[in-house]
Amino acid sequence: MTSPLRRQSLYALLALLPASALALDGAVASAPDDPILARLVQESVAARPELRQAREQARAERERVPQAGALPDPVVTLGLQNDGFRELTIGKMESSYYQLMLSQGLPWPGKTGLRTDLARLAAERAEAAVERVRLGVEADVRRGYLDLLLVRDRLALLDQLEGIWQKSAGIARARYESGEGAQSDVLRSQLELNRLKQRRWGLQSDERVRLQSLNRVRARPLDEPIPTTTAVRDLPLPVLQPAEAAWAGAEPRSPELKQARIDASFAEAGVALARRDRWPDLALTAALMPRGSAFEPMWQAGVSFTLPIWSLRKQWRAVDESEARAAAGAAGTLAVGQVLRQRVEERRSALTTLLETVKLYREGLLVQSQATAESTLSQYRVGRVTFASVLEANAGYVADQEGLLLAIADAVRIGIADSEVSLAPPGGSLAAGGLGGAAIPGTGAAGGPQGAKGGAAGAAAGGAGGGGASMSSM
């Protein structure tokens, strides 16, 4: 049974926690898009050379469509026929004349339309490539901005941990000076404060890298500052959709699936064109041959065509080749669709776990962790627990706060990957222990109860996707 004094202490701790840490529904109220993020995305879309390159390639493909539907250029032939070499005999000899000939090639009916269809499909595929680049550009900025927010929040968390260490060091020093504590407690607290300096340098370096990455993608000076007005814990969490709704939203937006379907259509049109190529192309010829005033002019008209006498080795093999490519295109479309559905389901599964993890942190884990840290410090003050227990409890509390930030960040990364319609498999970034685990070697993630909870949360959120290393690796 919990004593009234303990219950009062717990209620006091609950009153000190921010409201966002006590949300029982595990969701964050929806908020408008961060204007800073919106500006970064707009600037990056306008500045990225990769996007301009894809757009120009698409424009080039569109320019090929009318070319594919045009007839071959006509051929004009100017000539002279003369009897003998001594003099010009036009008008004197009946067989001497000037010649003006016009020849126009005509593809077999249907070939021009099929070639136009192929060029149009190629242009559509290039447009899908533009969409893929655009989605990737926006997702890169959103992930980079999230990483910048996360590293800055972790720096703030490091400040909090430093304050806890300083408070604990002050109590250890007071107990030592009064003869109730050991000198090793004072030395240990000083050691942990110095270790925090090393981790701060690593996080500051990481912040510079994130800042430079965001400035690069928007073509700005690498050291240009980017202010942030929000925190990771305030970001809205993605909404978990039913499986069929998630697939229905991803399937028409996937550039890779659209490209695969266009490729299949391109291959099918190629089969039709290969079959039509078995028929010969034609050429119409008209000529006028003036012979001077003494003779009537001559004229000539004709039609010519190729003889496909080697069709068994060429045209028919081309049909077989095109049919094989069409079969490959159909299989490729099926394969891309299967991968896309798998990625949608993987992200749903990861997001389900992450939302439950965030809910667990907010409903009780942080409350219990802070209560344990405060209780352990109070008991150390009266000599009932060791200083190592204080460090372990404090480290576990900060590690749990970091775990919440990482879980929210991973959930947001899932939302970014959904918006990007990414085919990349989700990866894990939620590290157990974090700040607290690094502060006390051998504890945190594996030692105390807080570390164990942080480790469980990290394991639960594994496979969520995205980046940032734990502070314990700094």
What's the confidence (pLDDT) of residue 182?
72
Give yes or no for a contact between 287 and 300, defined as CB atoms under 8 angstroms apart: yes
In the chain, CATH 1.20.1600.10 covers 4-62+134-261+336-473
* C-alpha to C-alpha distance for 435 and 417, rounded to whole angstroms: 27
pLDDT, residue 46, reads 93
Other CB atoms within 10 A of residue 43 CB: 17
What is the distance in angstroms between the CA of the first residue and the CA of the last residue of the chain? Answer: 42
Q: What is the DSSP letter of 447?
A: S
Sequential DSSP letters for 117-144: HHHHHHHHHHHHHHHHHHHHHHHHHHHH
Q: Which of 2-11, 186-195, 424-433 has the lowest average pLDDT?
A: 2-11
pLDDT digits (tens, 9 = 90+) for 110-147: 999 999 999 999 999 999 999 999 999 999 999 999 99
- Check residues 386 and 321 and name the one with the higher pLDDT: 321
Maximum mean pLDDT: which of 190-204, 246-260, 431-445: 246-260
The answer to whether 115 and 433 have CB atoms below 8 angstroms apart is no
HSE on the CB side for 209, CA within 13 Å? 10
Model confidence band, residue 177 (pLDDT cutoffs 50, 70, 90): low
Q: How far apart are CA 337 and CA 343, in angstroms?
A: 10
Instruction: Return the axis-axis angle of helices 366-381 and 111-177, rounded to nearest 10°.
Output: 20
Residue 448 above 50 pLDDT?
Answer: no
Q: What is the pLDDT of residues 187-227, one digit of tens each?
A: 776 777 778 888 889 999 999 999 999 999 999 999 999 99
Q: Which residues contact 327 (CB under 8 A, 6 or more apart)?
A: none
pLDDT given for residue 428 in this prediction? 53
pLDDT tens-digit profile of 274-286?
999 889 899 999 9
Interatomic CA distance for residues 229 and 157, integer angstroms:
16
Q: What's the rounded Cα separation, in Å, for the pair 292 and 283?
A: 29
CATH superfamily of 4-62+134-261+336-473: Outer membrane efflux proteins (OEP) (1.20.1600.10)
Could you give the C-alpha distances from 421 to 132, 135, 437, in angstroms and in order? 9, 8, 35
pLDDT top residue among 457 and 219: 219
The predicted model scores a pTM of 0.75
pLDDT at 413 over 90: yes
Lowest mean pLDDT among 197-211, 339-353, 455-469: 455-469
Looking at the DSSP bridge assignments, the partners of residue 302 are: 285
pLDDT higher at 184 or 374: 374
- CA dist., res. 339 & res. 344, Å (int): 9
